[in-house]
Amino acid sequence: MRPGIALTWLACALLVAGCAMPPSDAEIRAKAAATMKSSFKDAGQAKLDRLDQDETQRVCSQYAGKALPPDVAKRVEQLNLATIKYPADGKLVGDWKNGEKIAQEGRGKQFSDDPAGPVGANCYACHQLAPQELSYGTIGPTLYQFGKLRGYTDETRRYAWGKVYNADAFAACSNMPRFGHSGILTEAQLRDVVALLMDPASPVNQ
């Protein structure tokens, strides 16, 4: 709290009067969250509980697009790193052809989507991947030659899995959904997306 505001609060408290002063950031945040909740309704598979923010969503919203202080960023990353589950059988790489389909699929989890699926990752909305696909977005970095440039190592495969599973573990408040952690993709789908990035035969690595 800034000293000026603290003093004004003190003056108000002493006067025990309803001082008309601008609400604090915390008050606005609380009111905004409550107003959000009262301004939406359940629709299809998208229920109101989707507005209940977890710790990561709350902190990331609070910094409003500005750089996080290093200690906050570290805390968010650690919190998310702890959520990453690697497959029990240790198999990180599936079928890149299916991975390509998942990367192209934009449906999934919208109230207008069939809850029975399909659910995609819509990677091309934000990333360049296979060079044959020219309709790609630029919110995320290019992933063309992801495996070829980084090397087809266990370490890179584990990194790719972790990044798709929970991107906030590596970059706090990333724009990228936490596909594994948030239950968007199944374990089999995660494997196929990792294959798209890491299989030497994948078009991404040509």
Given the complex with another protein, which of 100 and 168 has the nearer CB atom?
168
200 binds another protein (CB under 8 A): no
Cα(77)–Cα(96) distance, integer angstroms: 28
Span 20-49, contacts to another protein by CB under 8 A: 20, 22-23, 28-29, 31-33, 35-36, 38-43, 46-48
139 binds another protein (CB under 8 A): yes
Cα(99)–Cα(80) distance, integer angstroms: 24
Report the nearest approach of another protein to the CB of residue 182 (Å): 5
Q: How many residues bind another protein (CB under 8 A)?
A: 49
The closest alpha carbon to 143, from 193, 185, 201, 85, belongs to: 193
> Under a CB-based contact definition with an 8 Å cutoff, are residues 178 and 80 in contact?
yes
Give every CB contact of residue 170 below 8 A, 6+ residues apart in sequence.
77, 159, 162, 163
Instruction: Tell me which amino acid residue 173 is.
Output: C
Span 46-65, contacts to another protein by CB under 8 A: 46-48, 50-53, 56-57, 60-61, 64-65
Reduced to 3 states, what is the DSSP secondary structure of residue 59? helix
Taking contact as CB under 8 A, which single stretch among the options 5-13, 95-103, 104-112, 149-157 is the one that binds another protein? 104-112
173 DSSP assignment: T
- Residues at the contact surface with another protein, assessed by CB under 8 A: 20, 22-23, 28-29, 31-33, 35-36, 38-43, 46-48, 50-53, 56-57, 60-61, 64-65, 109-112, 124-126, 134-139, 168, 175, 177-178, 182-184
